Structure 1
Amino acid sequence: MLRLSAVTITAALALFSAAACGGGSADGPAAPDALDANADLSKQTLTLSNWAGYMPEDLPAKFKDKTGAEVTVTEHATNEEIIAKLTAGGDSGVDVAFVSGQFAQALAEQGLLEPIHADLVPNLKNLYPEATKLAYDPGNKISVPYTWGTTGLCYRKDLTGYEPDSWNDLLQPKPELKKKITMLGTERWMLLPAQKSLGFSANTQDEGELAKAKELLVKAKPNLLAFDDTTFGDRLKSGEAALVEAWDGWCPTTEKNIAFTVPKEGSDLWVDTMVILKSSKNKEAAHALIDYILDPEVHAWAAQNIMYKVPNKAAMESLDAKLVADYPHLEMSPADLLKQESLVDLGEAAPVYTRIVTEVTAR
C-alpha cells in the first residue's frame, strides 16, 4: 500500500488533549452527532487529507459539480504525519482523512472520529460483505475501507531458479540468493516475516515472542541487500534483487518472469480507510464525499491506477480482464484475503516494535 508506515500510534496519541479537541473523549469512541439528511451541501466546504496520487485528481471538481460542496485536498506522506496533525490539539481543519485501519482504530478510541451514519452513505451497499468483518472496525462503525491487500514474496523466476513459497526463503535464503534479497523496513512489515515464520500473530504483544522475532531478523540481516520500502520493484526489474518482500500492488508482475505469492505460513490483511473527524463542521458533506467515492466508477480508479484491490464488489467486477491478467493479485477473493490476519492497533506494545526495528537496523 502506498506508504503504510511505522506504527508509533501510542506516542502520537499521547499528545492529544480531549478538552482541547472539543467533542472528543479519551475514554472511547464518541457518540454520533445529530445530522441533517437534507442539509444544503453547497453551503459546506471540506478539507480532505490523503496520500499523493491515491485518488483521481478531478475528484474534487466532479464532487462539487454533483453536490455543490467545495473540497480542498491536502497531502500527508505517512500515517504518522496525519496522526500528529489530528492529535495536536484544537481543530486540525481536516474533515475527512485517509488513514490505515489500525490508525483509524486508535483515533476512534480517543474519541476523535464521528461514527459513520450509514443512512447518509447508501453506496455502502457496494461493499463486499467481508468488508464489514475487519478486525479493527467490525461493521464499519467508525471508518469506510478504501483499499485492501496483503504482503508477500515478489520474485524473479529466472533469477531464483525456483518458486519461493515461505517467509523462510527471505529469512534463511539459499546461498546463491544472499545479498539478492530485500525486506520492508517499516515496523509492522519488517517483523511480519519473522512473526509468521515462527507461528506468531502479526499483532503479538508478547515480549518473549517479539524477542524471538528480533533474533531471527538479526540473523537474517547479513544476507539482505537492503531494507527497502520504495525501490524493491526497480531492483527486481534491473536484476539487482531476485526476491523481495512486497505489498501486493507494488509487485511489478507486468514484467516478464516476475511473480507474487502469499507465503504458506500466511500474511497480513492491511486496509486503507476513510474517516470523518469529530471536529468537522461539515459532516453531512463529509458523508456525501465518502458515498461519492464508493460509486463503482469512482472507486474502480484505485484498482485501475494504483493496482490495489478495492472492497467494492461492483467496482472490482468492472475491471478490464487484461488488467486482471497483468496483475493477478487483483483476482484474490475477499474470502481468501480475510484468511490473512488483520492488522490492529498495538496500543502500549507499539514502542516495543519501534525499539526492535531500531535495534535491528542499527546493527
Structure 2
Amino acid sequence: MKHRNAWAWAFAAVLTVSASSAAMAEKLVISNWDGYMPKDMAEKFKAATGIDLEISVHATNEEIMGKVTASGGEGYDVLFVSSPFAEALNNLGLAAPIDHAKIPNLANLYPEASQLKHDPGNVFSVPYTWGTTGLCYRSDLVKAEPQSWNDLLKPADDLKGKITMLSTDRWLMAPAFLANGMSVNTTDQASLDKVRDQLIETKRQLLAYDDTTFYSKLVSGEASLVEAWDGWCNYGIAEKPEIKYVIPKEGSDLWVDTIVVTKASKNPEAAHKFIDFVLNADNGKWVVENIMYKTPNKAGMEAVDKAMFTQYPNMAIPPAELLKFEQLRDLGSGMKAFSKTVSEIMAAK
C-alpha cells in the first residue's frame, strides 16, 4: 500500500507539472501599437480558444526592433511591425515561417495580399493593414489644390509656415525621392545628398515635423497642407469635411503593417491561432471602422457600410491600384547612409 501511495503521489505530481506547463504554454505575448486592435481582443480570444494574451505596446517599429534584436526574440510570440521591419526580422533569422494550413482565415485576404514584394506568398508575415502616403489639406484654405509633392517641398508663399512633414525616417525622405523620380528605397550617396539639400531647404518653410497631431493642426487651421498617411488624414476629415486627401502625381509609397511570429516563440501553434482569429471578418471590419485604414482583409472590407468609402474616398482605392506603388523595403547595409542623411537634415538650421 505504501508503494502504491508513493506511485500515486508521483503520478499526481507529474500530472500537476504537466498541467502547469500546459497552462504556461497556453499564453501568448503580443506586441502591437496602442489602439491597433480591439481593446477586448484578449477577452474575445480567450473565450474562443482558452488561450491568454499578454499585450505589450510599442510606440515605433524601431522600439520593438531594438528589444527583439537584443533578446533574440525571447519573451515575444507575435509582433505587429511594418513590412521593412518584418523583412529585416526574417533576414536576421528571427521570424518563424507562417504555416498556412493553420490559418484558414488567410482565405479572407485579397489575392494581392500574397503578392507583396517584401514577402511574396506570405512566407514569414501576414499583412494586417496597408495604404498610401500623400497630401492632406484644407480645401478652403489653399489657393490651389495640391497635385505634386513639390507643392509641399517648394511651397507657395501663402503656405510657408503652414505645412508639416512626417519625421519618421522613411517617410521624411520619401516625398523628395518621389518628386525627383527616385525609388523610395534609394540608398546611393549622390541621390541622398541631393534630397538632403532639398529637404533642408524645405525644413526652413515648415510649421513642424509632426507624426501624430498634424490632422489636428489642419482642423484648427494652424496648418493648411501636410504630409500624411491616408488613415490619419481620415481622422481630420471626420472632424472637418473641408479636409481632403490626394496622392500626388509622382505617386506614393505602399506601406504595409504586418503580423510576424517570432522564431523564439514557445507556442507557435497558439500564435497561428491568434493570427487566424485576427483575420476573421469581424476583426477586419473593426480595423476599417476604428483605425480608418484599408485592410487586405477582403471579408472585413466588404462588411463595412459603403457610405464610409464615400466619406473617405481613399478607403476605396482597390488593391490592384495599391500594388502599383513601390513598397518600402528593408535597406540592409544601406540603412547606415540613409540614417546619417536623416540625421543631417534634422540637425540643420
Fold shared per TM-score above 0.5: yes
Contact kept? 2:28, 2:77, Cα under 8 Å: yes
Is 1:179 the counterpart of 2:164? The answer is no
Candidates 150, 165, 185, aligned match of 2:132: 150
State TM-score, norm by structure 1. 0.87
1:85–1:92: 8 Å Cα contact kept in structure 2?
no
Aligned to 2:198: 216
Question: Structure 2 residue aligned with 1:299, among 275, 281, 284?
Answer: 284
Equivalent position of 2:182 in the other structure: 200
Q: Could you tell me how far apart the structure 2 residues matched to 1:91 and 1:265 are?
A: 39
**In structure 1, what residue type is equivalent to 2:154?**
Q
Equivalent position amino acid for 2:279 in 1: L
SS of 1:202's partner is coil
Q: How far apart are the structure 2 equivalents of 1:44 and 1:123? A: 21
Spell out, residue by residue over 1:318-354, the C-alpha distance to the aligned partner (whole angstroms, 9 max, x if none): 1112322222211011011111110000111112222
Change (3 A) 1:297 1:41: farther
Post-superposition Cα deviations, 1:216-246, rounded to whole Å, max 9, x if no partner, equal 1122121111111111101111111110000
Residue 31 of structure 1: aligned partner: none
Q: Which residue identity lines up with residue 157 of structure 1 in the other structure?
A: S
Q: Match of 1:301, as an amino acid?
A: W
Pairwise CA distance, 1:313: 0.8
Once the two structures are superposed, residues 80-139 of structure 1 have per-residue CA deviations (whole angstroms, 9 ceiling, x without a partner) of 111111111355211011011010100111111110000000111111111111111111
Q: Distance in 2 between matches of 1:89 and 1:241?
A: 42
Pairing 1:116-195 to 2, within 5 Å after superposition: 116-195=98-177
Q: How large is the RMSD of aligned CA atoms in angstroms? A: 1.4
Distance in 2 between the 1:161 and 1:256 partners? 17
The aligned counterpart of 2:18 is none
- Residue 168 of structure 1 deviates from its aligned partner by 0.3
Q: Residue 229 of structure 1 aligns to a residue in which SS?
A: coil
Distance 1:44 1:357 in 2: 43
Structure-2 residue corresponding to 1:253: 237
Match of 1:66 in 2: 48
> What is the correspondence of 1:11-160 to structure 2 with a 5 Å cutoff?
44-89=26-71, 92-160=74-142
| 1:20 alignment counterpart | none
The letter of the residue matching 1:99 is: V
Q: Which blocks of at least 5 consecutive residues in structure 2 are unaligned?
A: 1-21
Are 2:133 and 2:228, in contact at CA under 8 Å, matched by a contact in 1? yes
> Which whole-Å CA distance do the structure 1 matches of 2:214 and 2:72 have between them?
40
Cα displacement string for residues 298-317 of structure 1 (whole angstroms, at most 9, x for unaligned residues)? 12111110101110111101
String of CA shifts for 1:189-242, please: whole Å, max 9, x gaps: 111110000000000121111111111112212111111111110111111111
Is the CA contact 1:157–1:258 (under 8 Å) kept in the aligned structure 2?
yes
**8 Å CA contact retained: 1:152, 1:245:** yes
Query: Partner of 2:15 in structure 1?
Result: none
Which SS does the other structure have where 2:39 is aligned?
coil
Please show how residues 337-348 of structure 1 align to structure 2 within 5 Å: 337-348=322-333
* AA partner of residue 164 (structure 2): T
Q: Which one has a bigger Cα radius of gyration?
A: 2
Structure 1 Cα separation of the partners of residues 260 and 159 of structure 2 = 43
CA shift for structure 1 position 43: 5.4
- Distance in 2 separating the partners of 1:284 and 1:127: 21
| 2: CA distance, partners of 1:342 / 1:246 | 16
**Does structure 1 residue 318 correspond to structure 2 residue 303?**
yes
Which runs of 4 or more aligned residues in structure 1 lie more than 3 Å from their structure 2 counterparts after TM superposition?
40-43
Aligned equivalents of 2:243 and 2:114: distance in 1? 33
Amino acid at match of 1:196: L
Q: 1:278 aligns with which of 255, 260, 263?
A: 263
Letter of the structure 2 residue corresponding to residue 333 of structure 1: P
Residue 349 and residue 126 in structure 1: after superposition, are their counterparts in 2 closer, same or farther (change >3 A)? same
- State the identity %: 53
- Distance in 2, matches of 1:85 and 1:241, equals 36
**Pairing 1:351–2:336 present:** yes
The CA deviation at 1:58 is 1.0
CA distance in 2, matches of 1:57, 1:132: 28
Rounded to whole Å, the distance in 2 between the matches of 1:343 and 1:126 is: 24
Amino acid at match of 1:187: D
- Count of residue pairs the alignment pairs up: 324
Alpha-carbon separation, structure 2, partners of 1:192 and 1:91: 30
Give the TM-score normalised by structure 2.
Answer: 0.90
SS of 2:195's partner is helix
The Cα shift of 1:161 comes to 2.0
Contact conserved, 2:153 with 2:202, CA < 8 A, in 1? yes
Paired AA for residue 107 in structure 1: L
* 8 Å Cα contact 1:153/1:246 also seen in 2: yes
Q: Distance in 1 between matches of 2:156 and 2:220?
A: 20
What secondary structure sits across from 2:53 in the alignment? Answer: strand
Larger % of helix: which? 2
> How far apart, in 2, do the equivalents of 1:41 and 1:107 lie?
28
SS in 2 for 1:269: strand
For 1:43 and 1:76, the matched residues in 2 are separated by 23
